[in-house]
Chains A and B, each alone.
Chain A
Amino acid sequence: MEPNEQKQGRLDIEAIRQELAGQGGKRYWRSLEQVADTQEFQLWLEDEFPHRKTLLEIDRRSMLKVMGASIALAGLSGCRGAFLDQEKAVPYVKQPEELVPGKPMFYATSIPLCGYGVGVLVEQHEGRPTKIEGNPDHPESQGSTNSIMQASILSMYDPDRSQNVSSAGEISTWEEYEKVLKEALAKQKSKQGAGIRILTDTVASPLLAASLDAFLEAYPAATWHSWDPIGRDNARGGSQAAFGKVVNTTYNLAQAKVIVSLDSDFLVSGPGHLRYSRDFADGRRLEVTGGSMNRLYQFESFPTVTGTNADHRWAIKASDVASVTAAIAAALGVASDAGAAPVDAATISKIVKDLQANPGTSAVIPGEGQPASVHHLCHAINEKLGNNGKTVLHGPRVDFGPANHLQSITQLTEAIKSSKVDILLILGANPVYNAPADLDFGNAIASAKLKVHHGLYFDETSAKCDWHLPLTHFLEEWGDVRGYDGTLSLIQPLIAPLFESKSHVELVQRALGNAEAPFNTLKSSYATRLPGKKWDIALNLGVIADSKPAEVAISVSGTAPSIPMLRVSGPEVILREDSHVFDGRYANNGWLQELPKPLSKITWDNAIHISPRMAQEKGIESEDEVELEFNGQKVKGGAWVLPGHPEDSITVLLGYGRTAGGTIANRAGFNAYPMRTSSALSWGHGGNLKKTNHIFPLSSVQVHHEMEGRDIVRTGTLAEWNADPALTPETKHHFEKVSMYPDKVFDYDGPQWGMTVDLNTCIGCNACVTACQAENNIPVVGKEQVKRGRELHWIRLDRYYVGGLDQPTETVHQPVMCVHCEKAPCEPVCPVGATMHSHEGLNQMVYNRCVGTRYCSNNCPYKVRRFNYLNYVDNQDQFMESSMDTPMIPVPLASDKKVIIPGKVTHEKTHGRNLLKMVQNPDVTMRGRGIMEKCTYCVQRINDTRIEAKKQGREIKDGEVVTACEQACPTKAIVFGNVADKESRVSKLREDKRSYLLLEELNTRPRTSYLGRVRNPNPEITA
């Protein structure tokens, strides 16, 4: 070293002493270097590496030395695992018990749906959850699932999920957050926590409720608010009014012979719908019931799945439902005047007669969107009919927190506006997006001092908060939850949190200073209830046995509410939750977005639905852009003309038009929440619809709605079925089985696979479609590709209208997947023989052999073949471009780029892709571009079962092979099995008189058969 360099680095102690001595007052100094204010110190302040050399300072020889060393050291990275740290996972040195690589394991857990738990079994491959199935031990699921449950696995691997703690747009840490919170809470101690507000959505987890209660105990003046945009305020309010206390009303439809639904979509939405649909279907399974059927009367303000399954359906304005309820109540004598109902009195009296004829075996079900007074009246009606304790069950309240969410969020907003809120903890809810528009929560929130949002996504609310904390997905957390009837079930993680997330319980516990591991918190909370082995059993089952609370004996007190009998004219605007993205919380899920809506079959968008008559009057066609003015707000969206929609009303679906919902969510639809005010949460009067001169393209997967008199779905009434159990259609072809060849083409030993789909019990809920997508690694293709007609779903639910355009007399659903023709037209036309028949009767696709001529698809009369027009598996870029202007950067899974630049989008496309790859089922081949694919009858499951049976040296048992669609089906309308075995369920159903083959006249001899649909209309009602 040269002398002058040495000198530069030396401190002049004397100078420092003088410096310090010359100062008056207090002066804090950090180090001698600072005081000396040396050049060195300045450099250190400015530069992280003060003594590094710039390129200009390095001579050639040193440069070569450094470069040489760099290259040599770079080579060392190849020595990972040898003597450097090994980052990658290694195979088990000691194999864990029960785990066989390549064999999935199933664990029981629970999924909270709108807060209420449904038990599930999750398939896990080497620690990676891949598929969700229903838990047969759970009273709601009974082994079935719905689409949202199936798709929730994809949400877990969503690359748009928030992955870091962030504060004011900067990545931060939990420690930082907790430090800030601790300081804030310390200030609240003296005020008893008067400035603390906690906002949750629906909470049905006893552990979370207990944690929150503990928090409220520590800060007695703090308040717990709740807000769920699609909550059960009305149901709670109705029971409060009727019984003087909030009870949880559930229905035992297995016992119900006559059901009247008042704007309720109980078959596919709301807590308990899986159970209700199963019980409802069981009541019409003709081969089991021996010919008796329940009867459903449906009054509804929007065409719903439940409506399509009704025996009588009236499309009425939402505001008229109350009148109908009052009319029924009056006819039963539980309310005074009936007034003017939109349905004539004679019809009402016939319905009432039917109800009265079935005391104790009927049920009147009010819709969640209907006001508390309607719920109140329904309680009175059910009591009068003697249904309580039989078909209508009242149990103690299941959820926790404020009973009236609207009131609660209003109070919270007022408190914030009056600057009373110092700490606002938002757990899961997204009020900035979905609070009633008149509250102006989005702007009000700024008045709260410390705002913390804990959620799965960095959403609209996160953007307005000081802190965003990532929430665990339910597959990553420990917890508990109550089901629709109060049954307790446990939530156990299937995987360690992918990101730095924590559960709500953990967050609240940590705020209380309890840093206990979440598992311990949960276990200790069940220490008395589930001691010792009982805990293990409960964890294994997923459901806590006998935890369903006893019913409460209760009767309607108070007088029946008077319902204004005014029939308001002028268009009514109905705001409904979407059947798939719900209130918007599932909007970033590609599977749910691409899932066709049950009736309109629209994907990727919400729409403004109107009736054909209104469309005609206003000159509007589907896919016209329209402007809807309502509650002083204007939204623009695509119009959709929906047969069966009530007249004089306009329905808009909520949950779309997200601005910070994630890549997918932000692109889909328009936001209808700005029109939704406290006074018009479900509907309101005075919508003004105007056509603009633009087109709003909507991707609907079905454009043709009539059967054109063809023999496609066989339907009939119960009376017709009694007369002719085959439901022979008028247009049936006189088809004789004439063939030049011996009819022993598939006379092989071994099982012959086949399937039956009972159209009588199929409710058209879409669960099978998503289940198939999850099982068979079916990629989403995006709105534009759906518009082109290239969606890849292996099952499609065909929906046909019967009867008039305005009010179709019947709407039928028909799931169509590959029917595995014994004489498949697709097979002989393939030039390379890529589609062949297996000896077990499967029509197989050999992906590796397929060259993609698409001839097989052209020649398939059922059009169930799907073609990969583009590389849909890898080209998911359309979903990967982040449109979020937040610093949430997915850096999951062994990413080597952990550099985070706050405020900049550095969304690495490959990261998202890597994460999405985790969801794939390893048992099913991925299909690349240019390949034909279709339903395989879940051949991977067949093979798995066959191997197992072979190992055990036995035949495959009936019901042992369960296809994904069959497993998910809430009504068990799909049955799969061996048609060669005459004793199998599927054979017996094929022998049923109602059984028919789709397009039998083409002589394709499908292995999938359908069972005709039977309705049970009231013979007295002709309309």
Chain B
Amino acid sequence: MAKETLNEDLITGQQTYVSLDNTIGSMVLDGKRHKKNWYVMLGIAFMLLNGFMLAVGWLLYQGVGVWGNNVPTGWAFDIINFVWWIGIGHAGTLISAILLLVRQQWRNSINRFAEAMTLFAVLCAAQYPLLHTGRPWVAAYWLMPYPNIMGLWPQFRSPLIWDVFAVTTYALVSILFWFVGLIPDLATLRDKSTNKIGQKIFGFLSLGWRGSMKHWHRYEQAYLLLAGLSTPLVLSVHTIVSYDFAMSIVPGWNVTVFPPYFVAGAVFAGFAMVLLIGLPLRAWYGLKDMITMKHIDWMCKIMLATGLIVFYGYFLEVFYAYYSANPAEISLAEWRFYGPYSPAYWALIICNGIIPQLLWVPKFRRNLPLVFIVCLFISVGMWLERFVIIPMSLMKNYLPASDRFYYPTIVDFTMFFGTIGLFFFMMWLFIRFLPVINMFEMKDLLFKQNLKKEKEAEEKQEAGVH
């Protein structure tokens, strides 16, 4: 295998509009492009998903006691997984919205599946807030403000209610953003599709897109508006999620650094997940010309930057503990360093603090297996971060007598791996049935790139003439 080189171009190889359409579109239209890998991955994900459904059934039948949670550790895997998934989702929105607004063209090749990833991650995250309650059948609507004759409303002082609004808004905007962005491509697929059913479905979904100037005009406006709406969400959702902790008086939670540190952590985890999906995808489906080494390089740099913010957060947590002189905070910090779960803390420091430092070295950033492994470490590390923050903080208390040990059950793990199954199941279905890369934006990019090249060639020529 020839070593891939870092190239200035965002689209490499000899690409034409038709070749772009074919490379991406045929993944949907031509089932034969999906080889054994796709079936194996889908099968594994499906199995995990079934485990998830069994676990949820058992949970609903028995109660949250099938998990390991206790008093004082009221939250554990449920909220860890919720925060982890929400965090992963963030990269998608960041890529789509913020990079769009700041005109980062390189986002074009990764935004579609990053957005899909956001949606599925939010879907996974959304499993927990409801299921983690003691009585999901009433929590399902009591958390919503709805008019009722008893005049009962949710309590707007509770960060959990802010969470409900933040996450539902986030899910809605993400769906809209993703779908609106899909419309021109759906129309392309409708046109390219050779079978009746495909034509019908894509025709329906493309909402009568004809590619007229008016359509493009309105599309651009809607897309920008949605990007504008999404942008604050990137920051607000995880800020609000962090309020669940920061607003409380629990030692280890009551830290002002949480909002920025959570947002950075989310982006950090999100980019790791984008790479974890993107790297195999480009290898298996020949998308190397679209997701180029340059993309990977830049994403690694973003991870490095956000990872440093997160690492700084860890440092600040410890600093605050000692600076506060609060014995409960100090004892918690020491419990993290030396307690029975200290391996989790040190693993977190290694995964999120030490290993990402490899990405300083350009050579390592271009070593794809290594990047993949680093991303794996980051994903694990981000999960551990939530483990350290949530159950490990709750186990230690203001009154040492109420310290109790928490340990998860098999149902906890089944549900966690089950959501991973759910995520990948959706992801692989998406790869099969919808274009993973934004085709029209790639064509737009190719046009601009060609224009640029022509311009350069002209300039060169002119320079030669003179």
Q: Give chain A's interface residues, CB within 8 Å of chain B.
A: 701-710, 712, 731, 785, 788-790, 796, 798-800, 814, 816, 825, 828-833, 849-855, 857-859, 861-863, 865-871, 929-932, 998-999, 1002
Contacts and interface: CB of A to CB of B under 8 A. Distances in A.
A832 B65 contact: no
Nearest to A1001: B326
Interface string B144-166: 00000000111101111100100
26 contacts: A701-B404, A710-B327, A710-B328, A712-B400, A788-B70, A789-B72, A814-B401, A828-B158, A829-B158, A830-B155, A831-B143, A831-B155, A850-B135, A851-B142, A852-B64, A852-B133, A855-B158, A855-B244, A863-B71, A867-B74, A870-B65, A870-B66, A871-B62, A929-B134, A998-B399, A999-B398
B403 interface: yes
Contacts of A790: 65, 70-71
Please indicate which of the listed interface residues B64, B136, B164, B405 has the most CB atoms of chain A within 10 Å of its own CB. B64
B72 A858 contact: yes
B110 interface: no
B250 A854 contact: no
Q: Which of A731, A828, A830, A832 has the most chain B CB within a 10 Å cutoff?
A: A832
Q: Nearest 10 pairs between A and B by C-beta?
A: A852-B134, A930-B134, A869-B65, A854-B74, A789-B70, A798-B401, A870-B65, A863-B402, A851-B139, A831-B160
Contacts of A851: 133-136, 138-139, 142-143
B70 A869 contact: yes
Given A825-B248, A832-B154, A868-B134, A861 B164 contact: no
B78 to A, nearest CB: 9
A930 B63 contact: yes
Contacts of B72: 789, 857-858, 863
Given A789-B406, A800-B400, 17 more contacts: A702-B401, A705-B400, A790-B65, A816-B402, A829-B160, A831-B155, A831-B158, A851-B134, A851-B139, A853-B133, A858-B250, A861-B397, A862-B399, A866-B71, A867-B74, A931-B135, A999-B399
Among A854, A855, A861, A862, the one with the most B-chain Cβ atoms within 10 Å of its Cβ is: A854
A859 B248 contact: yes
Contacts of A871: 62-63
Contacts of B401: 702, 704-705, 796, 798-800, 814, 816
* Residue among B63, B154, B157 facing the most chain A CB atoms (10 A cut-off): B63
A786 to B, nearest CB: 10
Contacts of B135: 850-852, 929-931
Contacts of A707: 400
Given A831-B161, A930-B64, A798 B134 contact: no
A65 to B, nearest CB: 46
Contacts of A852: 64, 133-135, 139
Given A851-B142, A859-B248, A709 B404 contact: no
Contacts of B327: 708-710, 731
A830 B248 CA distance: 11
Classify chain B: how many residues form its interface, as a range: 35 or more
Contacts of A831: 143, 154-155, 158, 160-161, 164
B316 interface: no
A858 B248 contact: yes
A931 B250 CA distance: 21
B394 interface: yes
B95 to A, nearest CB: 31
B179 interface: no
B73 A789 contact: yes
B419 interface: no
Contacts of B70: 788-790, 869
Nearest to A788: B70
A858 B394 contact: yes
A1010 to B, nearest CB: 12
Contacts of B99: none
A844 to B, nearest CB: 14
A715 to B, nearest CB: 15
Nearest to A999: B398
A1002 B328 CA distance: 12
B350 interface: no
B400 A710 contact: yes
A652 to B, nearest CB: 26
B205 interface: no
Given A708-B327, A789-B405, A863-B399, A854 B158 contact: no
Contacts of A870: 62-63, 65-66
A799 B400 CA distance: 10
Contacts of A705: 400-401
B160 to A, nearest CB: 4
A946 to B, nearest CB: 24
Contacts of B159: 829
A857 B404 contact: no
A1002 B139 CA distance: 30
Contacts of B349: none
B75 interface: yes
Contacts of A832: 139, 142-143, 152, 154-155
Contacts of A932: 134
Contacts of A849: 142, 152
Contacts of B394: 858
B246 to A, nearest CB: 12
A796, A800, A825, A857: which has the most chain B beta carbons within 10 Å? Answer: A857
A867 B134 contact: yes
Contacts of B139: 832, 851-853
Interface string B391-435: 000100111111111100000000000000000000000000000
Contacts of A868: 63, 134
A811 to B, nearest CB: 12
A855 B160 contact: yes
A179 to B, nearest CB: 52
Interface in B319-364: 327-328, 331
A931 B138 CA distance: 12
Given A703-B405, A859-B248, A929 B63 contact: yes
B129 to A, nearest CB: 8
Contacts of A703: 403-405
Contacts of A788: 65, 68, 70
A36 to B, nearest CB: 64
Contacts of A858: 72, 74-75, 248, 250, 394
B209 to A, nearest CB: 41
A641 B457 CA distance: 84
A999 B69 CA distance: 25
A857 B404 CA distance: 14
Contacts of B65: 785, 788, 790, 869-870, 929
A796 B394 CA distance: 18
B249 A1002 contact: yes
Given A708-B327, A833-B154, A865 B399 contact: no
Interface in B359-375: none
Interface string B225-244: 00000000000000000001
A854 B159 CA distance: 13
Contacts of A930: 63-64, 133-135
Nearest to B64: A869
Contacts of A1002: 249, 398
A287 B332 CA distance: 38
Contacts of B249: 825, 859, 861, 1002
A624 B159 CA distance: 44
B132 interface: yes
B268 to A, nearest CB: 25
Interface in B188-219: none
A184 to B, nearest CB: 54
B318 interface: no
A869 B67 CA distance: 9
Nearest to A861: B398
Contacts of A999: 398-399
Interface string B111-135: 0000000000000000000001111
